[in-house]
Chain A
Amino acid sequence: MKKYVIIYLFIFFPFGSYGQITKLPEIIMNIAEELAADDNDPEAVAIYIERLYDLAENPVNVNSADENEVSRLFFLSDFQIKVLTDYVHSSGKIISVFELANLPGFDKETAEMMIRFISLDAKMKLNQDSVRLRSASLTNISIKPGNSDSTSLGSAWKILSKYKFTAGRLSGGFTIEKDPGEKFLTGKSPQPDFLSFNLAFRGSGTMRKFIVGDYSARFGQGTNINTGIRSGLSLTSPGYMSSKDEIKPYTSTDENNFFRGVAAEFDFRNLGLSLFYSNNYSDATLVSSGYSENYIENFYKAGIHSTSSQLLKKDAISDITCGLNLSYNFNNLRIGLTWSEDKFSLPVYSVENDPENIFDFKGYRNNLYSVYYNSFIKRILLYGEFSTNEYRKYSFVQGLSFRPSDRLTINFLFRDYSAGYMSFHGKGPGSSSSTSNEQGILANFTFEAAKHLFISGGCDNQYFPWLKYRCSIPSWGRKKELRVKFLPTDNLTIDASYSYSYSMVDSSQNRGIPQQKQVVTRSIKGTVRYALYDNLILGTRVDYKVAGPAVSKGTLLLQDINYRFRYIPVTLWFRYCLFSTDDWDSRIYTYENDLLYSFSVPALSGEGTRTYLMAKWEIKDIAELRVKYSTTSLIKGNSNSADTDEIKIQFRVIF
């Protein structure tokens, strides 16, 4: 009973907080929506948003001229990181953020995006050495009134609690989460449904980093090890292609995508060495095969344990992962080697004799070997990675980033993942969730066509040489996007984009080999954001989408109002949104402001309205309270409507 009380106290009476968090620029909303629309990577938005909040909490000291430090700005390309550090080395410290916009490879848009996440304070580095305990904790509670499911084991509340401390070079924290419908405490020795913790040391000498507990890792292009954001290129966004090697404490809530154990990062002048060992439990569906032992039918990634059958899948197997990464820096060339091994407590076998699964991984153990590089040659950045397993199945990535002029960037990315290649903790650039069974080439450009006018566009051609989910023949896919952004004044942004996607899926027929139908989606989006005063921002957005073989249509019109009171520390966000879509295929994603370290990108389909009001109350420098009320009203035939409400509350305190 006593330990329940202690846990309860941690959750409902948090005792720490970080400082002021600035608002996210709208480019981040665009990227978040793009990531959310990618059904293959549902956790990407969560990781992305969390990393942005981390950056806002601990801004990057760009004047440090340290590539490791600057590359914490993960949305910058390797090219931009190199330019920034070289500039500080050669020209001295950056005095104003506006200086950034004039650097080769940067523009006003990128500089504005960086403003929230950088510091120009030269003393910042020294502060890291001083031992001063900073604790932070936040607690979220989400309630959906009237939304109870009798089959659920627990309450309909969602509870999330995070605690983090920093004391000089030492940091640590824990995360507790309970999803709607889950029991708060589960297992033989009751503990929260999801409990994650870490303790990390950040050194300045040979040992750069040492982590005990939960951590994430990424090396090279991520085809071997990458439990963070997928590296690679967006069709029109300038960023998130950095391929920085890193291990970092894990603070997210994806219950099946992190390591638990020990990791260390060493630096011997130009030689870098990372070692990691993890013994974690994963969710899986097990099947008893009678005479022989159980085997793993599939891995359960949803992380929801609200019913008895889902609870049976929780932590069903143990997964031991170990590996090392070696990298060496030459002048303009970095090369790296990565080895990793996964060992499961039970063997993995295919679900059934489905041709789609012929190349799937089978057995206990998976070894992967990778070699990667990146190199700068004047205005060209080249990067690539080759990985293979014991069965000689491989993955290959080759990219090129080229800046023929300060106003033009051109990128190419080629990838070839053979059907039998499998990485359980990897995530290479590409369109599918697994780094497997895909070939493709992506090209994009960003062009500053005139003062304050930016045009960007891209095309990604994909080929899937073997069968895949919902497609019984080798198939093709294509995505194209064109975006025009105009920033005529500091307080006005006009953004318009057109996107196109093509894919093939099985038609629904019961007998024989299904025929394929072509699914084409086209959408047009226009956004205007206007800062009337420094404390009042208005945003308007119009969307039009045509999707699928049924040529279903979707439209959306929304209005945002963001107001910060001058004399009381309260900020309000209000959105009123009307949408109308013919079916699920023409659904429209809209990013919403949400609680700190949380995100909301609802997929709106059907006909109705979506409204939310969020208030933030900063109680001096010691606490912050956020409350969000949102409601979705869907018309259900004959002029009736069904409303779904949600209330979210977040509380943070400093001590």
Chain B
Amino acid sequence: MSSLRKLSVSAFLVFLSLTSSGGDHYRLKAGAGEAGVGYVCVMKNGFWSSFHNQATLAQNNSLSLGLNYENRFGLKELGTRTAGIRIPAGNASLGVVYSHFGYTDYRREMTGLACGLKLSDIISAGVQVDYYSEKTTDEYADNHSVTCEAGLLILPSENIRVGIHIFNPVPNSLRKLYMPSTLRIGAATNLNNSLFTGIEAEMSSGSKLIIRTGFEYEVMKRLWLRGGFGTNNNSFSFGLGYLTKIVQTDISFSTHEKLGVTSSVSFIFKIH
């Protein structure tokens, strides 16, 4: 029974790295809206984008709460549940995020505390401190780790947005467990009032460079159509978003060339 569990956990860890969006599996990926544009969101305003690049937190001045669920390849064991809250505070905004991934025999939890600050009209910066906890059954050891991430958002002109984000810049010699680092750099523009397009490069230590591109089109008022493409696994994404008075609902689907479809849904409540 124990060896069966070992096998299942090992197989699970293999799947863990096969995300449809690619890159570093430690790094939080949340938001069906963001998944819909292929995670081209390092420069994009949005509730969940704030946890992809904390500098964008400063661009949002509403108190909001979000819930997200992602399921990879139709396997319930590969589900991620995420919750977050964003609190405006003058020129700055604070954010708290919690994420739970896995099942009984293996689970990874992440808690993050973020702050974004508008430094000037064209530049914002943000940081986040993360606490990771990995729990496995039997003789596998539990792991705990603390790291940080930081980002910049640059608005060189009215229509152009540039985002830079570093995850885990801490040298691995300073920690007991190896944790990959990730650098994301992207630029986006609004081609017109209803069309957002962007391109992003991401690289994690131990992985190849990934280029992503995506768009978000406001089909009609409060309804968005999204699409994206990433060079890792030639992954296509698409999604829809709809905003009611206080709730924004997003759904998305992204493909993996061998393993199938990853689907997500998220709800964002604008409290104040």
Contacts and interface: CB of A to CB of B under 8 A. Distances in A.
Contacts of B74: none
Interface stretch (B48-56, B206-214, B220-228, B262-270): B206-214
A437 interface: no
Contacts of B201: 542, 557
Nearest to B168: A609
Contacts of B154: 530, 532, 538
Contacts of A643: 171-173
Interface in A616-640: 631, 633, 635, 639-640
B122 A580 contact: no
Contacts of A631: 171, 173
Interface string B89-102: 00000000000000
Contacts of B206: 580, 607-608, 635, 639
Interface residues of B, number: 26
B185 A580 contact: no
B169 interface: yes
B249 interface: no
Interface string B162-176: 101010010111000
Q: Classify chain A: how many residues form its interface, as a range.
A: 20 to 34
Given A530-B156, A538-B164, A635-B206, A559 B183 contact: yes
Contacts of B172: 633, 641, 643
B167 to A, nearest CB: 10
A611 interface: yes
A573 B178 CA distance: 26
Contacts, number: 82
Interface in A567-626: 576-580, 607-609, 611
B209 A544 contact: yes
Contacts of B122: 532
Contacts of A633: 171-173, 181, 205
A537 B127 CA distance: 20
A609 B173 CA distance: 12
A576 B183 CA distance: 8
A608 B205 contact: yes
A557 B171 contact: no
Contacts of A137: none
Nearest to A578: B203
Interface in B62-100: none
Contact of A557 (B123, B152, B169, B183): B183
B203 A580 contact: yes
B131 to A, nearest CB: 20
B197 interface: no
A555 interface: yes
A207 B244 CA distance: 87
A631 B170 CA distance: 11
B59 interface: no
Interface string A191-233: 0000000000000000000000000000000000000000000
A540 B152 CA distance: 13
Contacts of B20: none
Nearest to A634: B205
Contact of A635 (B164, B169, B205, B208): B205
Interface in B127-179: 152, 154, 156, 162, 164, 166, 169, 171-173, 178
Interface of A: 492, 530, 532, 536, 538, 540, 542, 544, 553, 555-559, 576-580, 607-609, 611, 631, 633, 635, 639-641, 643, 645
Given A530-B156, A641-B172, 19 more contacts: A532-B122, A532-B154, A542-B201, A542-B209, A544-B209, A555-B209, A556-B203, A557-B209, A558-B183, A576-B183, A577-B183, A578-B204, A608-B205, A609-B205, A633-B173, A635-B205, A639-B178, A640-B178, A641-B178
Q: Which 8 A-B pairs have the closest CB atoms?
A: A555-B209, A557-B203, A643-B173, A578-B203, A641-B172, A639-B178, A635-B206, A607-B206
